[in-house]
Amino acid sequence: MVTDGKVDLPTWDLTPIYPGVDSPEYAASVVSLIRHIEDLESLLAGAEAQGASSGGEVTAAFEQILDAFNDALRLSRQNRLYLQAHISANSRDNAAIARMSELQAVRARRLKAATRFIAWVGRIDVETLIAASNAAQVHAFPLLQARIQAEHLMDQSREALSVEMQITGSSAWSRLQDILASQVMVTIDMPGGEVVRLPMSETSKFSVNPDRDVRRAAYEGKQEAWLQWETPFAAALNGVKGEHITLARERGWDSILDEALFLNRIDRTTLETMLDACRRSLPDFRRYLKAKARALGLETLAAYDLYAPMPGDPPAWPWETCSAFVVDQFESYSPELGHLARRALAERWIDAGPRADKDGGGFCLPFDAGVSRVLVNHISAFEDVATLAHELGHAYHNLCEVNNSPWRREGTPLTLAETASTFCETLVTKAAIAQGSETERLATLEASLQASTVCVVDILGRFTFEQAIIDKRTERELSADEYSTLMRDVRRATYEDALDPDALAPHNWEGIPHFYLPEAAFYNFPYSFGLLFGLGLYAIFLDDPDAFRSRFEELLASTGDADAATLAARFGFDLHSPDFWEGSLDVIRADIDAFVELVDRRFP
């Protein structure tokens, strides 16, 4: 049991979903899933044989297919998330790994049927169907998106083959990265001569150590560990990106980025306008980083100083304090949000403590019926408060979508998936800043700016990195050294003189799972979008809290029902206007101004 002082940190309880990965209940669910897929395949065969594009037969066929499609998607998603939860909490859970391998084949069959469904939608008169069927009206946006997607499908046999090949291709490479990253061991030569050896997931505590020599030692140990394992990570990244490039080309997308924009429900103008605003903000973020360096008595920050605590006695956030504060702030927003946080704690939705073979970082797994599971790695820093609020925000989003069909829920893009999480994190962070002493405000402001720096500065670098590797990967595979050089170059370009050029953490690409996702390229700019969109919503909340709450819940319930621009327009946001993005960045600039003022006063 991982402890926080004298308090045991909670682990999540997965038994309400299934008693175990080898339980009769789980086995029965797989049988049910296969039956739903068989029903879907049979219905699709009948609809394909009809060959009609409109009329009563098409309407009846669609409504039957929709029910079978949603049934299969619901159960497939639940089982995948259930096994993912087991493996994320223990990457050596061989039983769960075996069940996941078995599920891959079943999911591949479902994905083939889903592709046939999309292809069929591309051949029918969607507008006539929507006018004739209530079920189609409810699913109007997914239908219209499916029609576009159908234009980018290969023929049925090649699509079916691609699904099969992904099991041993990008999905296998992604699993390799995930397993290796959780099992890599780090050897740290501590300043006093002690040699510490521990898993990568447990090294984050050294990043917030007040002793710079300890931070440097941990940084050097981590970079050396990544270096030792760079070859399999490079092979995995080459494999995933190579597949992305091949499939995008064969499906007729102009580029991988164009496909990513479609999947994220934004256009290129929105992306470029947002990124341009982020680039214009870089001098402000460098101003923050240089002020932090002054506070720490340094000429320039190194990568291992980015998460260093401010001088003095940083406020501790043990688990009970952290979780209670999040509950209190959620309840101050609304009873519903507060109840969600209390329920998550009472029903053991949360796996809180770092340990060997557990995934690092934090995430939320959205199960059916508004139930979620949240993984964090609590080390008693304020960042843990923000992370818990962020991930419970995802759980709240899941709850708001509880009445939506699986197809509608699946349509929530990555850009809008960060909306509730960013809002909840901002809610908690602003409260901590407002309620703390000057010393606590300084520490909390700095922690908040750390997170904003990741979402703006670091994400901008990751986007540039991914663009560069895709351009090169179209010609050949890249070596591990080339990946590290690219990472070093983009970090130097974004941070400039605010970060020591000799300590830029060039091997960190190995541990960033977003680069390796088989189903999504460019899982970086959605974080910038989510942060800035969430800050825009927070400003609306401050203007009229009572009117905002119901509108916000309606927004979260409909993130799979429209594109980002349409949903943003409900709040008067124009995503093509630089003014919107600058307005959100101004919220961060105000925090930077406050931070610099406090630093100048306390550390003249």
Strand (E) or helix (H) holding 196? strand 195-199
- pLDDT tens digits for range 335-344: 999 999 999 9
The two three-digit tokens of residue 30, written as one number: 């797989």
Residue type, 85: A
Q: CB neighbours of 435 closer than 8 A, spacing ≥ 6?
A: none
The C-alpha atoms of residue 489 and residue 87 are separated, in whole angstroms, by 34
The whole-number pLDDT of residue 100 equals 96
Residue 339 contacts residue 184 (beta carbons within 8 Å)? no
- What are the domain boundaries of the chain? 24-168
* 350 to 2, 173, 401, 576: CA distances (angstroms): 13, 28, 20, 38
Report how far residue 475's alpha carbon sits from residue 518's, in angstroms, rounded to the nearest whole number.
20
Which two structure tokens, joined as six digits, stand for 58?
Answer: 């098409």
Three-class SS of 538-556: HHHHHHCHHHHHHHHHHHH
Q: Does the pLDDT of residue 490 top 60, yes or no?
A: yes
pLDDT of amino acid 7: 60
State pLDDT tens for residues 182-198: 889 999 999 999 999 99
Q: Are 136 and 62 in contact (CB under 8 A)?
A: yes
- Enumerate residues 6+ apart whose C-beta is below 8 A from 56: 132
For 259, what's the count of Cα atoms within 13 Å in the CB-facing half-sphere?
23
pLDDT digits (tens, 9 = 90+) for 460-479: 999 999 999 999 999 999 99
pLDDT higher than 80, residue 497: yes
What's the confidence (pLDDT) of residue 556? 98
- Measured CA to CA, the distance from residue 588 to residue 280 in angstroms comes to 13
pLDDT for 307: 94
The neighbouring-strand residues paired with 109 are none
To the nearest whole number, what is the mean pLDDT of the chain?
96
Taking only the tens place, the pLDDT of each residue in 407-460 is: 999 999 999 999 999 999 999 999 999 998 898 999 999 999 999 999 999 999
Judge whether residue 75 has pLDDT over 70.
Answer: yes
Name the residue with tokens 């990472």.
Answer: 487
Model confidence over 326-336: pLDDT tens digits? Answer: 999 999 999 99
- The answer to whether 407 touches 66, Cβ cutoff 8 Å, is yes
What is the pLDDT averaged over residues 96-109?
96
Going by C-alpha positions, the residue among 542, 541, 539, 543 that lies closest to residue 584 is 539
For 518-559, how does the pLDDT look when each residue is reduced to its tens digit (9 = 90+)? Answer: 988 999 999 999 999 999 999 999 999 999 999 999 999 999
Indicate left, alpha or beta for 505 from its phi (over 0: left) and psi (-120 to 50: alpha). left
Per-residue pLDDT reduced to its tens digit, 46-56: 999 998 888 99
pLDDT of residue 6: 47
CA-based nearest residue to 9, from 232, 477, 322: 322
For residue 5, pLDDT over 70 is answered with no
| CA torsion through residues 578, 580, 581, 582, sign | positive
Q: What is the pTM of this model?
A: 0.92
- Beta strand spans in 350-452 (E): 350-351, 363-366, 372-375
d(CA 429, CA 328): 12
Q: Residue 559 phi/psi, 5° resolution?
A: -70, -15
Is the pLDDT at 1 greater than 50? The verdict is no
9 vs 2: CA distance, rounded Å: 6
Residues whose CB is less than 8 angstroms from the CB of residue 368 and which lie 6 or more positions away in sequence, other chains included: 74, 77, 78
| Residue pLDDT, tens place only, 589-600 | 999 999 999 999
The yes-or-no verdict on residue 356 having pLDDT over 90 is no
% of the chain with per-residue pLDDT over 90: 93
Residue 314 has pLDDT above 90, yes or no: no
Q: What whole-number distance in Å separates Cα of residue 279 and Cα of residue 464? A: 12
Give the residue among 283, 280, 287, 288 at the shortest CA–CA distance from 579. 280
**pLDDT exceeds cutoff 90 at 317:** yes
Query: Domain 24-168 has what CATH class?
Result: mainly alpha
Q: How confident is the model at residue 201 (pLDDT cuts 50, 70, 90)?
A: confident
Stretch 5-19: mean pLDDT: 88
Amino acid, res. 513? P
Cβ–Cβ under 8 Å, residues 266 and 278: no
Percentage, residues of the chain above pLDDT 70: 99
pLDDT in the model for residue 3: 53
